[in-house]
Amino acid sequence: MSTSRRRFLKQGLTAFGAAGLCGAFGNLNVLAAAAGHASFPPGDYKALVCVFLHGGNDSFNSIVPYSATEYAAYRSSRRVLVADGGIAFDQATVQAQALNALAAVGGLPGGLPSDGGSYGVHPALAELRQLFNAGHAAIVANVGTLLYPTSQAAYQAGTIAVPPQLFSHLDQSTYWQTSRPDDANANGWGGRIADRLHSANAGPVPMCVSLSSNNLFQRGDIVDSYSVSPEGVEKMSYLGDGPESWVIPPNEDGIAAYQALLAANTQQHVFERAYADRTRNAVANYEFVDAALNGASPLATPFPATSLGQQLRMAARLIQVRAALGMSRQVFYVSAGNYDSHNNQVDDQQSNLGELSQALKAFHDATVELAIDQSVTAFTASDFGRSLGVNVDGTDHGWGGHHFVVGGAVRGQRFYGSMPSLRDTANPDDTGFGQIIPTTAVDQYAATLAAWFGLSNSEIADIFPSLAHFDSASLGFLG
pLDDT of residue 22: 32
DSSP 233: P
Q: Which residue has the higher pLDDT, 224 or 31?
A: 224
**Per-residue pLDDT at 453 exceeds 80:** yes
Helix (H, G, I), strand (E, B) or coil at 197: helix
Mean pLDDT of 462-472: 96
Mean pLDDT of 327-345: 97
Mean pLDDT of 154-175: 96
pLDDT of residue 428: 97
Burial class of residue 441 (count of CB atoms within 10 Å of its CB; 0-12, 13-18, 19+)? buried
pLDDT in tens, 64-119: 999 999 999 999 999 999 999 999 999 999 999 999 755 444 568 888 899 999 99
For residues 336 and 355, the answer to whether their CB atoms sit within 8 Å is yes
For residues 152 and 383, the answer to whether their CB atoms sit within 8 Å is no
Mean pLDDT of 337-349: 96
Q: What is the mean pLDDT of the chain?
A: 88
**Using CA of residue 457, residue 460, residue 466, residue 472, what is the dihedral sign?**
negative
Residue 371 half-sphere exposure, CB side, CA atoms within 13 Å?
Answer: 1
Helix (H, G, I), strand (E, B) or coil at 121: strand
Mean pLDDT of 339-348: 96
Of all residues in the chain, the percent with pLDDT exceeding 70 is 87
| Domain-wise residue ranges, the chain | 3-469
Mean pLDDT of 400-409: 98
pLDDT in tens, 205-252: 999 999 998 999 999 999 989 999 999 887 766 555 555 444 456 677
Name the strand (E) or helix (H) holding 209. Answer: strand 208-210
pLDDT of residue 90: 97
At 286, the pLDDT band (50, 70, 90 cuts) reads confident
Residues paired with residue 437 on neighbouring β-strands, in sequence order? none
- C-alpha pair distances (Å), 53 with each of 276, 391, 400, 454: 36, 21, 14, 26
- 256-270, 323-337, 380-394, 463-477: which range is least confident on average? 256-270
Entry pTM: 0.90
pLDDT of residue 329: 98
